[in-house]
Structure 1
C-alpha cells in the first residue's frame, strides 16, 4: 500500500512530516506495509522556512500504477508553493490518481491544486479557513462545494482546513490503506 508524497516547493514541513511519521510508526513498530515515496520537481525541494528535503524521485520518474495513494502537504505562497503546485505536470499527476480512483489526501491549501486540476468540480472539499476564508473562496472558484469542516472526504479525496488537521488526515489515510483496527493501534501508540 505505497503512498506517493508529492512536494511542491514551499511545502509546509509539519504537513509533510506527519505522513512520514504516521506511516513510519505503522511500518517500523507494527510491520504494516505502508511505504512512503517522496517526490518533487527536483531531487532537492526547499520547504517553507527554507528547509531543504532530498526526495526519492522526481515527478518525471513516477508511474501512478506503482502507488495506492497520493499525499500532498500544503505550503506558503511566499515560498513559491503555487509555482509548482499549479504546474501542469503536478495537476496531471493528481488527475491520473483520481482517474484510477486512488486515494488523494491533502492538508490545508494542498486542496487548491486538486481543485485547479478539475478533480473536485461538483464535489465537497475544504481548505484553509482563517483570514477571511480567502483560500476557501479560491477553492469555490474551481467549482467545488466548499464545506467549512476540519476534514472533508468525498469519494477518494481527503481535504482538510489547516495544519491542526495534519495528523487526522494522516491517520485517515493509514486507515484507508490498512484497516480501522490497525490505524487505532498506531494512533494509540503515538499518544493520540
Structure 2
C-alpha cells in the first residue's frame, strides 16, 4: 500500500485538501487499490478557511516517515491562521525529512510556501498563488525558489507546486500517476467523470 500523508494546517482550504482525499480514496476503492491517505496536524482539531472542522487521524509527533510514500500539502488563508501552523518548525522538519528521503511532496497554491520556507526549494523551480499583487510568488522567490509564475503546475524532481485552487485536481491526479501508473490514473479520472 502506498500511503499519502495529508499535512493540514489550521486555516487550510477545504477544497484543496479534499481533492487528495477523493482521488486517493477513489483509487483505493475503484482503481488499482494500492493507495491510502492519512490526515495529520499539530492540533487536535483543525478549522479550515471557511469554518469546516477536521480531526486529524494522527498528530505530527506520531508520524513515522518510513510508512509514507508521499506528502500532500493544501494551501490556506492567512486570515484564517494558515501560516501559524504552516510556518512552524514541526511542518518544516517533516517537509525536510520527506525531501531528504526523495519522497514526493505535492502542494496546491500557497501550500508551496512552507516548502519554500523550509529551505528545500532553494535553487529549484516552483510556483505558488499568482493572482492579486504577486505577493505570494515574491515571497516564494525570497525563500530561494526559481518561481515560474506563468506555469500552473511545476514539477522539480520530487516536488509538485501549483499556482491556485483551480489546479487542485490536476495536482492530485499527478500525484496518483506518480504513485501508480498513467493507465491507472486515467482509469480513475474516467470513473470520476474527467
Identify the residue that residue 157 of structure 2 maps to in structure 1. Answer: 155
Q: 2:126, 2:156 within 8 Å by CA — same for their partners in 1?
A: yes
Which residue of structure 1 aligns with residue 27 of structure 2? 26
Show the counterpart of 1:63. 64
After superposition, the CA RMSD in angstroms is 0.7
Q: Is the contact between residue 41 and residue 58 of structure 2 (CA under 8 Å) also seen in structure 1?
A: yes
TM-score, normalized by length of structure 2? 0.97
Spell out structure 1 runs of 4+ moving beyond 3 A.
none
Select the residue among 147, 165, 168 that pairs with 1:166.
168
Counterpart in 2 of 1:189? 191
2: CA distance, partners of 1:10 / 1:37? 18
Preserved CA contact (<8 Å) 1:43 1:56: no
Question: 5+ unaligned residues in a row in structure 1: which ranges?
Answer: none
Question: How much has 1:31 moved relative to structure 2?
Answer: 4.2
Cα drift, residue 115 of structure 1? 0.2
- 2 CA distance for matches of 1:96 and 1:109? 20
Match of 1:47 in 2: 48
2-structure distance, mates of 1:176, 1:99: 18
2:161 is paired with a residue whose SS is strand
* Contact 1:23–1:34 (Cα < 8 Å) also in 2: yes
Quick one: distance in 2 between partners of 1:42 and 1:10?
12
Tell me the secondary structure at the aligned position of residue 131 of structure 1. Answer: coil
Give the Cα–Cα distance (whole angstroms) in 2 for the partners of residues 43 and 84 of structure 1: 13
Determine if contact 1:150/1:162 at 8 Å carries over to the other structure.
yes
Residue 109 (1) aligns with residue 117 (2): no
Deviations 1:67-108 (A, max 9, x none): 000000000000100000000011000000000000000000
Deviation at 1:30, TM superposition (A): 2.5
* Of 40-49 and 84-93, the range deviating more from structure 2: 40-49
Distance 1:94 1:114 in 2: 6
Q: Give distance in 2, aligned partners of 1:32 and 1:133.
A: 40
Q: Tell me the equivalent position of 2:177.
A: 175
Determine the structure 2 residue equivalent to 1:85: 86
